């Protein structure tokens, strides 16, 4: 079923502050660049209880994020501006209809950290522990669960994959074998995702072009087995099938050819078939 999403550029600048919401929903998301925090003093709704995410650049292998809640984001961000250097923009979630309560935003923080840690696509160094779930009445907890689903959607809508949990059907799976590697993954609009429990090659060939980055990725996403091979501990998405194959095997590959389905057909053949229909 389709959705209507409204995006409003506050200053008419596509790189500046904007807010986004789904028609007939109460969740409203502000995207605020760090350089534009003066807007917080101009908008009263940003000085009330809110759930928020600070996002940083992908300097290494995982992008960084910090998840929090506050009774006044304008005041809270002052502390973050001083103590947290990594972040470049903030996603601030409020209600269009009525103010969220302190317990509401605490529940959203609890839920968000729990989901983000499970998906493991962002570095959450500032959120080492999952906070205790606040005691909300049943009806209010249900409302916040629905609100959080809109948080997930809007985050994904603007390109933040912190809550994106890939879903895959068995007929979509592709397999990779070689150099001790036994990996499984799937291809979609977001690129190629290698699935948890895939076995990855123990080392890299001498000519491999991004050895140091692969080693860093392995340290963050996989565990080393006694035989030297690595086992992926969470799903990991890549921009292309070739990059995914390179990571798995520690060598340069044409991902469109080496990823094959259960019938031995290459990803290239499967995708071409879709275009021919």
Instruction: Compute the distance between CA of residue 169 and CA of residue 141 in angstroms, rounded to an integer.
Output: 31
Token pair 């009445």 is found at 137
Question: CB neighbours of 28 closer than 8 A, spacing ≥ 6?
Answer: 19, 20, 21, 93, 94, 95, 96
Half-sphere exposure of 250 (CA within 13 A, CB side): 21
Judge contact between 18 and 30, C-beta under 8 A: yes
Alpha-carbon distance of 202 to 250, in angstroms, equals 8
Q: Tell me the C-alpha distance between 193 and 174, whole Å.
A: 10
CB 232 within 8 A of CB 198: yes
Please tell me the predicted confidence (pLDDT) of residue 182.
97
Residue with tokens 């692969």: 214
Residue-range domain boundaries for the chain: 5-157, 170-276
Please give the structure tokens belonging to residue 233: 């501990």
Q: Determine the Cα–Cα distance for residues 92 and 252; give it in Å rounded to an integer.
A: 41
pLDDT at 125: 82
Q: Determine the Cα–Cα distance for residues 187 and 206; give it in Å rounded to an integer.
A: 28
Per-residue pLDDT at 101: 94
**Burial profile 236-271: b = 16 or more Cβ within 10 angstroms, e = fewer:** bbbeebbbbbbbbbbbebebbebbbbeeeebbbebe
- State how far the Cα of 169 lies from the Cα of 177, in Å rounded to an integer: 20
pTM of the model: 0.76
Q: What is the pLDDT of residue 274?
A: 60
Pairing of strands 87-95, 181-188: unpaired
* 20 CB-near residues (< 8 Å, 6+ apart): 5, 6, 7, 8, 28, 29, 31, 154, 157, 158
Which regions in the chain score pLDDT beneath 50? Answer: none
């Amino acid at each position: 079923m389709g959705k209507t999403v409204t995006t409003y550029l506050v200053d008419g600048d596509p790189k500046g502050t904007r807010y986004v919401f789904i028609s007939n929903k109460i969740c409203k998301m502000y995207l605020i660049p760090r350089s534009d925090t003066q807007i917080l003093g101009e908008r009263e709704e940003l000085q009330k209880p809110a759930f928020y995410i600070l996002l940083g650049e992908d300097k290494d292998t995982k992008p960084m994020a910090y998840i929090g809640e506050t009774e006044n984001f304008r005041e809270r961000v002052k502390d973050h501006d001083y103590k947290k250097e990594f972040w470049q923009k903030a996603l601030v979630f409020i209600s269009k209809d009525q103010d969220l309560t302190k317990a509401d935003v605490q529940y959203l923080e609890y839920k968000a950290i729990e989901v983000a840690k499970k998906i493991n696509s962002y570095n959450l160094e500032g959120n080492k522990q999952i906070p205790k779930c606040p005691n909300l009445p049943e009806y209010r907890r249900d409302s916040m669960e629905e609100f959080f689903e809109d948080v997930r959607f809007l985050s994904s809508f603007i390109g933040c994959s912190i809550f994106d949990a890939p879903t895959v059907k068995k007929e979509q799976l592709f397999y990779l074998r070689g150099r001790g590697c036994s990996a499984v993954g799937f291809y979609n609009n977001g690129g190629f995702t290698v699935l948890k429990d895939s076995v990855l090659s123990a080392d890299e060939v001498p000519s491999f072009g991004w050895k140091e980055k692969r080693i860093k990725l392995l340290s963050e996403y996989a565990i080393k087995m006694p035989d030297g091979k690595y086992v992926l501990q969470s799903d990991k998405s890549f921009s292309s099938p070739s990059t995914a194959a390179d990571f798995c095997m520690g060598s340069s590959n044409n991902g469109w050819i080496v990823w094959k389905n259960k019938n031995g057909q290459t990803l290239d053949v499967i995708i071409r078939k879709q275009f021919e229909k």
